[in-house]
Amino acid sequence: MIRSLTKRFRALFTLRNLGGKVAIEHISKCFNDPSALLKHELAYCLGQMQDPDALPILIRTGEDLGVQYLTGEDLGVQYRTGEDLGVQYLTGEDLGIAETCQLALQRIEWLQTQKDDEKDHLSENPYNSVDPAPPSIITDVKQLKETLLNESLPLFDRYRAMFSLRNKGGEDAVLALAEGLKCSSALFRHEIAYVLGQMQDDGAAKQLSVNLADANENPMVRHECAEALGSIAKDSCLDILKNYKDDKERVVKESCEVALDMSEYERGPEFQYADTLAKLKSATA
């Protein structure tokens, strides 16, 4: 039976929430799907699960040129050592892949060398996600914004500022993060859009819409902007998503489809987005 992408996404996140070896096996079987968007979310979910059984799958798919960019960061949130973690791609021609692997290795290095006194002063992540970098110990929004937008600094330091701003929240933090959507690194813009989607603050909707509408923008950045707008779920965001649901870029088109479904959940009475198991139980009751 052919199911819509929106139902498959809900099933994927249900499997992520269930966890365990069987769930990982089912997720792994979908990496041969033609949808780049689905493969992106498969890698994301495996990384978030932080289960050692997912590592061979991420390594194997990371060897595929089509999904290296999607899996490098997710390997980074799994590993405690840098062994076999895409080192061969650190100086490759694809800047996004190289930056992803560099970031992942820097996270591993930080985990190995972190000091307890620094760890105790890090802001708490209110979104329960496993992030590719820890938050900065700096709390001043102005300083964090300066670090975020300073493209001469290591990407890892700028990511730390990004997650500190996200954790802090508020209008100034949202606007500072939205400025990051103008930076040169596509990987960085992609992560900024993801973070703004987590925050669900409509103060970022204007800049997210600008990047989504830009036909010259990296498709993976446009896809993340679409999903962020779906999370914000304001009427104006839905109108924008509808304008691009037939976009020529498949990943953007599919993202708008998923984002509109996500916005229905955010605005509706449903208890949870990952509801596939509950629906299956209801259907067989």
- CATH number, domain of 222, equals 1.25.10.10
26 is in an annotated binding site: no
**Residue 64 pLDDT > 60, yes or no?**
no
- On whether 109 is known to bind a ligand per the annotation, the reply is no
Average pLDDT, the chain: 84
One domain for residues 24 and 162: no
| pLDDT at 279 (0 to 100) | 60
41 annotated ligand-binding residue: yes
**pLDDT score of 116:** 64
132 and 212 in a single domain? The answer is: yes
In a domain, 76, yes or no: no
Residue 119 and residue 60 share a domain? no
**Statement: residue 76 has pLDDT above 70:** no
Inside any domain, residue 163: yes
**121 assigned ligand-binding residue:** no
Is 274 a domain residue?
A: no
Is the pLDDT at 270 greater than 90? The verdict is no
What pLDDT score was predicted for residue 272?
64
Highest mean pLDDT among 164-168, 219-223, 233-237: 164-168
Contact 68, 62 (CB under 8 A): yes
Mean pLDDT over residues 267-276, rounded?
A: 66
Distance CA 52, CA 104 (A): 16
Looking at the structure, tell me whether residues 100 and 61 fall in a common domain.
no
- Residue 80 pLDDT level (bands cut at 50, 70, 90): very low
Sequence-distant (6+) residues with CB within 8 A of 41 are 9, 12
Q: How confident is the model at residue 86 (pLDDT cuts 50, 70, 90)?
A: very low
Residue 150 lies inside a defined structural domain of this protein: yes
In this structure, is residue 201 part of a structural domain? yes
- Model confidence, pTM: 0.84
- Residues 138 and 264 placed together within one structural domain of the fold: yes
Mean pLDDT of 146-163: 96
Residues 20 and 143 in one domain: no
The whole-number pLDDT of residue 205 equals 97
pLDDT (tens digit per residue) in 122-142: 899 999 898 889 999 999 999
* Assigned domain for 283 exists: no
Q: How far apart are CA 194 and CA 171, in angstroms?
A: 17
3-state secondary structure the chain: CCCCHHHHHHHHHHHHHHCCHHHHHHHHCCCCCCCHHHHHHHHHHHHHHCCHHHHHHHHHHHCCCCCHHHHHHHHHCCCCCCCCCCHHHCCCCCHHHHHHHHHHHHHHHHHHHCCHHHHCCCCCCCCCCCCCCCCCCCCCHHHHHHHHHCCCCCHHHHHHHHHHHHHHCCHHHHHHHHHHHHCCCHHHHHHHHHHHHHHCCHHHHHHHHHHHHCCCCCHHHHHHHHHHHHHHCCHHHHHHHHHCCCCCCHHHHHHHHHHHHHHHHHHCCCCCCCCHHHHHHHHHC
Q: Mark whether 134 and 220 lie in a shared domain.
A: yes
| Shared-domain flag, residues 224 and 141 | yes
Identify the band that residue 204 occupies on the pLDDT scale cut at 50, 70 and 90: very high
141 and 228 in a single domain? The answer is yes
Candidate ranges 76-80, 99-103, 217-221; pick with highest mean pLDDT: 217-221
51, 117: one domain: no
Return the pLDDT at 118. Answer: 74
Answer yes or no: is 130 within a domain.
yes
Per-residue pLDDT at 61: 73
State yes or no: pLDDT of 1 exceeds 60: no
Regarding whether 200 and 111 lie in a shared domain, the answer is yes
Q: How far apart (Å, rounded) are the C-alpha atoms in residues 105 and 60? A: 18
Residue 274 has a pLDDT of: 61
Q: Which domain holds residue 193?
A: 96-268
Flag whether 23 is in a domain.
Answer: yes
For tokens 């966890």, name the residue. 19
Looking at the fold, whether 33 and 120 belong to one and the same domain comes out as: no
pLDDT at 180: 98
Q: How many domains does the chain have?
A: 2
pLDDT in tens, 98-108: 787 788 788 87
